[in-house]
Structure 1
Amino acid sequence: MDDDAVAFWLGSYTPGADGAGDGTGVGVRALGREESGGLVPIADVEADSPSWVVQHPTLPVVYAAEEFSGFVVAFRASPDGTLTPLGDPVEVGGIVCHLTVASRGDALIASCYGDGRVVVLALAPDGSLFRTPVELAPAVDPYVVPTSATLARGGLLLPDSATDPTEPASTDVDPRQSRAHTSRWLSDGRLATTDLGFDLVRFWRRGSSSTAPLVLDHEVTLPRGVGPRHLAWHESGHLHVVTEYSIEVFTLRAGHDGRFSVVAGVEATSDGAQDGDSAAELTVVGSREHLHTSVRGSDRISTLQIRGDGSELRAVGDVDSGGAVPRHHAEDGGVLHVANQGSGTIDSFEIDERTGVPARRVGRVEVGSPTCLTPASVAGGATGERATAAPATE
């Protein structure tokens, strides 16, 4: 292995953090590849439970969401994996759990699970954070207040007994809470975000001023209680959404008017969900013919085949994640790296080229409460030809 070749940045839960004192991570780590295909730590920098990390699309700058403190921090990356602070941390909201950087490198989006905030941070030319975050329009529960959202209907997508979000529920004795969870830039320049608490996928377009950098375009309402968590974009023009609570994958497609709606929905596992399961990550395999989902509880990686025009999904196989609580995973050419938070390991598997299913394990490394893997690219230490994961274009 070339010790200077940084392949991934790793986020983690650390000890003593507010609300997460049982973490065993060390902050943000730089990881390199072993000849076997597994990963190995190179360097690290202290941070307070940086549960999500992402890199600037063109600069050697890494951003981390310090989940429980509510801060976003920026680091400048060196080719050897060393990270040094770049500017001051910026507070964005309660339980910040996800970050996305626009492909033009001018803005960072932070999703806050604790208070439901979706926040835009402008980025300076050197990648540093401007100190004034802009909060986007807050989500409203479509099952309580009338909305013009699109409703998924029929069969698996929405039982006949479900509440119609266009009809306000007047007897909701258990008010729900907004839980912003993820964001993803789409190929047409719009941004998609999920609200896990309100079962919403929200779509934003660029605004005309710094005080309104993004404006709400439209929303898609999923069945009540499914919990949309993460998003994966497929080149066929379909947006796939994995649901944390119902363990399903919903497929959305834009119509001629540009508005997305649900066109399909399937169970995320071939063997069915088990009691206590919750889905975590969703990714498109490099071949573009399969999806991978991670399921905590039963600790599986599930593979779904993509068929037809890209909207047809079929779960084809479930395999053990190699550890406990697979919170996140990332493909690295023909290898799938699984961040098993509960066992404190990254377990790496060859992907069967024909079926897309993770097969032989090629590596395992103990890293302490891993939560997020993101591809690295630094001067003199780019991700290399094997890496296939990349941010969505804008």
Structure 2
Amino acid sequence: MRLLVGGYSADSGGIAGGIGVLVAGDVDSPSAGGPLAFVGEAVAASSPSWVTWNERTDVAYATLEAAGAVQAYRRVGEARFAPLGDPVEAGEAVCHAAVSPDGSTLVATCWGDGRVVRYALAGDGRIGRPSFAPAAVDPVGPAAGAGAGLSDASDVEAAAAEVGIDLAALGLGGRGDGGLFGGRGLDGFDGVELFGGGGGAGAGGFGGAGVEGASSAGTPPVEERVSRAHQTVFLADGVVATSDLGFDLVRFWRLVDGRLRPLHDVALPFGSGPRHMVWHPSGHLYVVTEYSCEVFALAPDATGRWRVVSGTPLGAGTLSGDSAAELAPSRDGAFLYAGVRGSDTIAVVAVRGAGDALTPVALVEAGVAWPRHHRVVRDTLLVAGERSDDVVSMTLDIRAGVPGRVRFRAPAPSPTCLTPFV
């Protein structure tokens, strides 16, 4: 199997020179269980931190994070690519891009300024002009002015209602003596509370820190919260989900006349930082939170409105200051794997019941420093170590779901993303 390797170049503090190529096992095999080899660059690029592949057109799309742009690359050889058109504007620190199942649309998300951007894709894969989606609204309530604290509760509820967040339905109110939302937990969160109830690094989002203080996991104070869009997932029936780890939101959209039209937002616990998501065959959307190191399950109700139905910490072994990164399912969907940077582990979470029950199983050594991204290929887990400049593979125990020891390792410069291509 061949994989495109995204990475950071010197403009982002890394050593990559572009999009690399990793061979895992036999080149023409759908399995990745054999030795690993980094065989060089597919194309030179500036900090292509995320790479996605459009098999319909043999075109790769990369987020040029430091440049705030997305770029298409057409295949010109077995493992060689060339730019297809010029870079197209996205936003500050664009960090993820996804292609729609029909290959007609690219959606990019920007960590730096919170932008969600939609592009039409031409028949040859070329990127069209950007269409910027409506900005996110912080459900906590933006500061009323310089030096101000949270808005009045009624302002919070009004702002949330504009984007479809029903705080009353969640059992949430304004800030009071009990802390944000009165210190109450969220209904349906299986006991995971807003503060101090989740265990693990963030312990419900703040690792024991007060509302005004920053957590050791990097959560900013309330008055400094900014929108930070991070990922896109295309769901069934034309619905699109994006995460915003700055405002603790999962946002739902529908593509209408070439634009992303907002449906509603789902607010996760304050300071949790929803980062990456996985669509599951059961109909659930699983979300890993960067700051609090938890996984939440979301599902639509009878009206089609999405809600949080359960959640769990990644495990008791996560440390203060840890931050979760990628989330990936096992081949059969029975387990979820979350990368944890800091302690440099892979968390294993079992999926039970109808997909709504999540149970931590294990925390295992990732075998790399700063596991930025990982991918499951059948019974193999590939892990990219951003700060150790390497990629490793581990065999997965299909029944227990737990990765074994590192089997193979290959050097790779500042790897941030692993994307199979054929």
Settle same-fold status: TM greater than 0.5.
yes
Which residue matches 2:253? 204
CA deviation vs aligned residue, 1:119-156 (integer Å, no higher than 9, x gap) = 011110000111x2000010011110331314551431
Asked whether 1:191 is paired with 2:240, we answer yes
Q: Deviations over 1:143-183 (max 9, x none)?
A: 10331314551431435999xxxxxx9xx972410000111
Which residue does 1:354 correspond to in 2? 399
Q: Distance in 2 between matches of 1:205 and 1:57?
A: 23
Bigger CA drift: 38-47 or 237-246? 38-47
- Determine the C-alpha separation between the residues in 1 that align with 2:301 and 2:124: 38
Equivalent position amino acid for 2:385 in 1: N
Amino acid at match of 2:287: V
The aligned counterpart of 1:103 is: 101
Amino acid at match of 1:263: V
- Percent identity over the alignment? 44
Tell me what 2:150 maps to.
Answer: none
Aligned to 1:260: 306
Which residue in 2 is equivalent to 1:58? Answer: 56
8 Å CA contact 2:55, 2:421 repeated in 1: no
Contact map agreement 1:278 1:296 (CA 8 A) in 2: yes
Conserved? CA contact 2:37–2:410, under 8 Å: yes
Seen in structure 2, the aligned counterparts of structure 1 residues 257 and 320 have a Cα distance that, compared at 3 Å, is same
Q: What residue is the counterpart of 1:140 in the other structure?
A: 137
Q: CA 1:349–1:251 in 2, change beyond 3 Å: closer, same or farther?
A: same
Distance in 2, matches of 1:101 and 1:222, equals 26
Q: Where does structure 2 lack aligned partners over 5 or more consecutive residues?
A: 27-32, 142-155, 171-185, 198-203, 205-210, 212-220
CA distance in 1, matches of 2:377, 2:228: 30
Hey, what does 2:176 align to over in structure 1? none
The alignment partner of 1:375 has SS state of strand
What letter corresponds to residue 358 of structure 2 in structure 1?
Answer: L
Q: Confirm whether residue 334 of structure 1 aligns to residue 334 of structure 2.
A: no
In 2: Cα distance, 1:226 partner to 1:173 partner: 13
> Matches of 2:58 and 2:38 in 1, distance apart?
18
Match of 1:232 among 265, 275, 278: 278
Q: Deviations over 1:244-289 (max 9, x none)?
A: 00000010010111111000010012x3320110000001110211
Q: Return 362-371 or 140-149, whichever deviates more.
A: 140-149
Residues 1:342 and 1:150: Cα distance change in structure 2 (over 3 Å): farther
Higher relative contact order (CA 8 A, sep 6+): 1
Specify the alignment match of 1:290 in structure 2. 335
Q: Distance in 2 between matches of 1:74 and 1:157?
A: 43
Equivalent residue, structure 1, for 2:194: 158
Question: Which residue matches 1:309?
Answer: 354
RMSD of the alignment, in Å? Answer: 1.9
Distance 2:349 2:85 in 1: 42
Aligned to 1:114: 112
SS in 1 for 2:237: coil
Separation of aligned partners in 2, 1:251 and 1:116:
23
- For 1:182, the equivalent position in structure 2 comes to 231
1:94: which partner in 2?
Answer: 92
Give the conservation status (yes or no) of the 8 Å contact 1:38–1:347: no
- Please give the TM-score of this superposition, normalised by the length of structure 1: 0.86
For residues 45-81 of structure 1, what are the alpha-carbon distances to aligned partners after superposition, in whole Å with 9 as ceiling and x for unaligned? 1110100000114121000001011011111124521
Paired positions, count = 355
The Cα offsets for residues 172-212 of structure 1, whole Å up to 9 and x where unpaired, read as: 972410000111000221100011100000000121x23xx
1:354 partner letter: R
Contact between 1:264 and 1:312, CA under 8 Å: does it hold in 2?
Answer: yes
TM-score, normalization: structure 2?
Answer: 0.81
Runs of 4+ in 1 over 6 A off after TM superposition: none
Distance 1:79 1:46 in 2: 15
